[in-house]
Amino acid sequence: MAASQLHVALAGNPNCGKTTLFNLLTGQNGYVGNWPGVTVEKKEARLSSDASVIVTDLPGIYSLSPYSPEEVVSRDYLMSGEPDVVIQLLDATNLERNLYLALQVVECGLPVVVALNMADLVEKNGDKIDTDALSKRLGAPVVMISALKNTGIDELIATAKQAAGAKNAVLEHKFDSAIEDVLDKIEALLPASVPAAKRRYYAVKLFERDEAATKYVNPTKEAAATIDQIIAQCEADCDDDAESIIAGERYAVIAHIMDACVKKAPAKMSVSEKIDRVVTNRILGLPIFVLIMWAVYSIATSADAFGTAGTDWVNDCLFGDGFELFGMAFPSIPGAIEGMLAAAGASELVTSLVLDGIVAGVGAVLGFIPQMFVLFVLLSFLEDCGYLARVAFVMDRVFRRFGLSGKSFIPMLVATGCGVPGVLATKTIENEKDRRMTVITTTFIPCGAKLPVIALLMGALVGDGEAGWISPLFYFLGVAAVIVSGVMLKKTKLFAGRPTPFVMELPAYHFPSLRSWWLHIWERVSAYIKKAFTIIFASTVVVWFLMNFGVYEGAFGFLPEITGGLEEFTSYSILAMIGTAVGWIFIPLGFSSWETTAMSISGLVAKENLVGIASTILAVGDDTGLSPELWQAFGGLFPTAGAIAAFGAFNLLCAPCFAAMGTIRAQMNSAKWTAIAIGYECGFAWIVGLLINQFYLLAQGVFSLWTIVAIAVAALLLFQIFRPMPRWAWDDDRAEVKAAAGATA
Ligand code: GDP
Ligand code: MG
């Protein structure tokens, strides 16, 4: 470590504002999630005002026990010797709860500065916190700040720098003297290698029988035996287990601190609580969520709204007929490029590649930027203001009824932005079966990149944005797929088990800081733009090549030339061959042309690619971009509206993009489980497509062998959904009891 560098660790409970503070201090735009554990890994960046200071944002935790991945990451880092000072962040509106972790961090023996965050809210509540008294009791400087309103930050940094120099923090809070005696005895038995400042921390950990800490300290055999005796004696005296004894002591200390340092304003119901009475209401909670998401998707995709107006302008003007500004006529982008190519004397091949391939494909994807923007303006607002945290809470009640944990819904809320962080957010689910199940089902939720696909489908189904109500249906199709899959999978041996309990602090509602709101929007929109110029760009080139080259009358070459300008030249292309070879899989779903097959495959690379490739495939000889013409051409590939819906359902539910599949692979950390995940997603998507198409046909009076298959499959699904939870499914509790009984017998 370079002597001039200072490492500052940010520790605190979930939702106490660590990420907000981290972003403020470092100018980063990390994810401010309103749920626990979106940050499982620690994050590092330099202080914007002083590059010699390195700040580390630790995952939010409630305790320094070793039970969750977040706790392990945080305490390993605190004990690693790297941090010079810890900023222990507390949500001052929730002091009592937050002090539980703060006490433990103070016990770590590192220089600590306690930052009381949300000063703005404390002031509003009228609570009075005596920071001097608190500082004395905790043995650490205390600074009031507001990360959101940027107050007290300079003082916090100055205090942290000062504290980093001061070695030998003295522990001020004491447990009951009997317990202190026991801890002293254990301290004395620790090997000399444990440094003075950390002896108390390890004494407590050994007393709690914390295996990781014991392994690390590695006491001699005799010492370990003596310690065991001491603990057993103390447990007998207190008639409680060691961990609970320590927890009880901490609560006692906290009660004293609260008494001495905090004057609560007379309780009145806060605005947040009033809103929550309605929003998280048992009966109203779910319909309100449905209405809100409905509105979000309708606004982002409906005709009158800004989103579509923007998209239309981009499509019609930039990529369509050109536009007029201040009385000057501008050509469209394709028009301008066409002009340039013609002036440069480009060949037919180059012109085709650039215009029909790249410009059509990338242009179609870029055309969605305004809609993406509106979608993320709305989603980020819902998240930053604190609403989505409530949704997790509301959904917990729904999920629990089906034996699922509400914890599984958090990754799904994240996945509404992008599946990659969604899958990553599953890390916080401790129960392995639940975690795997969540990884598998999370990407059913439509991410931002699926929005263009939904819009394309909507256009093909009902024409120009007349029916904005269709797009929310695809969102709820995703939610339904998650719930139905969860219910079915929970009744299989692979995923059975009781739901894990779900606890979460709900932050008070507030207007998002414009900065974090904007960063949030920009993070997603810029990723989308970047993808358009990289992955989508490359894909359109590849697809253009596959579609324009092929074999005609025994010769391989550039089809528009070797077919002598045959209108249907693409049916001789390599892409047509590949599409035809694979397309039969989709016959029962009602779409099996090589074009739709190629689009589905391209969607596996990136979902918005499907729209780019549709535009490339259908725009041959014509530079329409995303437009009513494209919708019509696209719709023309399908025999019925049912087939279009089946195509949509299949593509929105099947395996996600490459990036998300890679993340699934990393999360599962097993080839077998990755295969199960991708296989289940594709299989489930195929079945939903089958049901939609066949039942649509049946309603039209068309009956075939596939109708029988569809009815049989539907019956099986309904059976698996509605049969009671099998007896063995929640047997693991009993199995444990039996194992314990066997061990003592
Ligand atoms: P983390 O889980 O500790 O990383 O917490 P976040 O940084 O994600 O913050 C949780 C929520 O509290 C977010 O909605 C923030 O906007 C909000 N928040 C953070 N600091 C403050 C503050 O000082 N005052 C208020 N009113 N809200 C804050
Ligand atoms: Mg955070």
Nearest Cα to 685, choosing from 646, 724, 736, 632? 646
The first and second tokens of residue 431, run together, are 């129960």
For residue 383, give the ligand 1 atom closest to its CA.
14
Q: pLDDT for 179-208, tens place per residue? A: 999 999 999 999 998 888 889 999 999 999
What strands lie across the sheet with 112-117, from one edge to the other? Answer: 43-47, 50-57, 6-12, 85-91, 112-117, 142-144
pLDDT at 588 over 80: yes
Residue nearest to atom 14 of ligand 1 (CA): 384
What radius of gyration do the chain's Cα atoms show? 30
Quick one: what percent of the chain has pLDDT higher than 70?
88
Task: Name, in order, each residue with C-beta under 8 angstroms of 2's C-beta and a sequence gap of 6 or more.
Answer: none
H/E/C letters for each residue in 380-428?
Answer: HHHHHCCHHHHHHHHHHHHHHHCCCCHHHHHHHHHHCCCHHHHHHHHHH
Give the total residue count for the chain: 745
Distance CA 735, CA 651 (A): 41
Tens-digit pLDDT profile for residues 214-260: 988 899 999 999 999 999 999 999 888 898 899 999 999 999 999 99
Measured distance CA(199)–CA(204) in Å, rounded: 9
Is residue 516 within 8 Å of residue 23, measured between CB atoms? yes
Reduce the DSSP state of residue 48 to 3 states and report it: coil
- Ligand 1 centre to CA of 429 (Å) is 22
Q: Which residues contact 329 (CB under 8 A, 6 or more apart)?
A: 322, 323
Q: Smallest Cα–Cα separation from 668: which of 660, 659, 677?
A: 677
pLDDT at 24 over 60: yes
C-alpha of residue 342 to centroid of ligand 1, in Å: 56
For the Cβ of 384 lying below 6 angstroms from any atom of ligand 1, the answer is yes
CA of 147 to the centre of ligand 1 (A): 7
Domains of the chain: 2-164 (3.40.50.300), 177-263 (1.10.287.1770), 529-729 (no CATH)
| pLDDT surpasses 70 at 312 | no
- Average per-residue pLDDT in the chain? 85
What global pTM score does this model have?
0.69
Q: What is the pLDDT of residue 426?
A: 86
% pLDDT > 90, the chain? 38
Mean pLDDT along residues 277-285:
87
**pLDDT at position 314, please?**
63
Strand 328-330 to 50-57 pairing = unpaired
Ligand nearest to the CA of 520: 1
20 lines ligand 1 (CB under 6 A): yes
Q: pLDDT band for 678, please (50, 70, 90 cuts).
A: very high
Distance 187 CA to ligand 2 centre (A): 35
Distance CA 142, CA 132 (A): 7
Ligand 1 atom 25 nearest Cα: 118
Return the ligand 1 atom nearest residue 16 CA. 3
Q: What are phi and psi of 308, to 5 degrees?
A: -70, -35
